[in-house]
């Protein structure tokens, strides 16, 4: 009788190898199938792009964390925040 841990380990190994390859091939086949419904092709292509890292947020510009910014970038970010704050709080009743 197999123990549960060994069975889980073996299944995870197959998922990480055979399963990933099968999923990739299936998604690619859907993308290439001109007869597949448009939503299926869009979902499959988005999955491939996501796995490839094309949807990841790039750490440039205002999305950087403060500890990743130069002094000039921090100053620019503060100026932008002040400007947006002033725009929101400068109503006709002030």
Cα 54 from chain centre: 7
- Domain limits of the chain? 1-56, 58-94
Q: Residue 26: pLDDT band by 50, 70, 90 thresholds? A: very high
CA atoms within 13 A on the CB side of 65: 2
The C-alpha atoms of residue 60 and residue 68 are separated, in whole angstroms, by 9
pTM summary value: 0.54
Q: Are 33 and 41 in contact (CB under 8 A)?
A: yes
Q: Residue 93: pLDDT band by 50, 70, 90 thresholds? A: low
Per-residue pLDDT at 37 exceeds 90: yes
Q: What is the mean pLDDT of the chain?
A: 86
Q: Residue 91: pLDDT band by 50, 70, 90 thresholds? A: low
pLDDT tens track for 52-83: 888 876 555 557 788 888 888 888 888 888 88
């Amino acid at each position: 009788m197999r123990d549960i841990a060994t069975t889980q380990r073996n299944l995870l190994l197959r998922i990480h190898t055979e399963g990933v390859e099968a999923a990739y091939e299936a998604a690619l086949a859907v993308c290439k199938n001109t007869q597949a419904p448009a939503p299926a092709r869009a979902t499959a292509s988005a999955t491939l792009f996501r796995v490839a890292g094309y949807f990841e947020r790039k750490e440039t510009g205002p999305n950087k964390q403060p500890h990743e910014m130069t002094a000039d970038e921090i100053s620019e970010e503060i100026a932008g925040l002040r400007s947006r704050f002033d725009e929101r709080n400068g109503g006709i009743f002030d």
